[in-house]
Amino acid sequence: MAGFFSKIFGGSSNEQQAPVAPVAAATGGNQLVLGAHMNGTVHELSQVSDPTFSTGALGPGAAIEPTEGVLYAPADGELTVAFPTGHAVGIRTPEGVELLIHIGFDTVELDGKHFDIQVKKGDKVKRGDVLVKFDLEAVKAAGYDITTPLVATNHKRIVASTALHQSTAGSAPITAGDDFLVYSLNQ
């Protein structure tokens, strides 16, 4: 799987994910504050079970273990990827940050079963818009880890640093839309 994502989104499987430190809320400047993409529990990317994400091969970010089956847009932007299986979406923000959100690990194997994608490639979205609805319990019952990472795939070009928002430090519960992740952007 790492080879597939590396071809599409860049990155090297040898990269290590730096720990994500909490920071204060962005106050403008060159920061992009993302909203939580789900209701659930926040986890540092290094803690997730899939090495493609935990090593930072796809980019810096964080993950949420969901408590409900709804994926929300973390920022305004345009859908650059909307897999018909509903398991993953990509968004390009107005700042140029390319986000990948992947619902669970290996969930592509479900071939869309239990997923209802609400958007299509090219759609404009606003922070908080519903992107995908899914049957959380059915996906878990099928044996899949449902932890959902959010990463910046073009981080080498645009992201200077990544940090959890101060309100999400540690493995804490979060509500969709709450400030979640801060990307400091290159000038």
Instruction: Pick the catalytic residue from 43, 87, 102, 155.
Output: 102
How many angstroms separate the Cα of 53 from the Cα of each of 29, 50, 156? Answer: 28, 6, 16
Measured CA to CA, the distance from residue 3 to residue 111 in angstroms comes to 20
Q: Which residues pair with 64 in a beta bridge?
A: 42, 148
Whether 43 is catalytic is no
Closest CA to 166 of 150, 182, 185: 182
Backbone angles phi, psi at 56, to 5 degrees: 85, 10
Walk across the sheet containing 70-72 and list its strands. 70-72, 130-134, 115-117
* 174 burial via Cβ count (<10 Å: 0-12, 13-18, 19+): buried
Closest CA to 90 of 10, 30, 17: 10
Which sequence positions are flagged as catalytic?
102
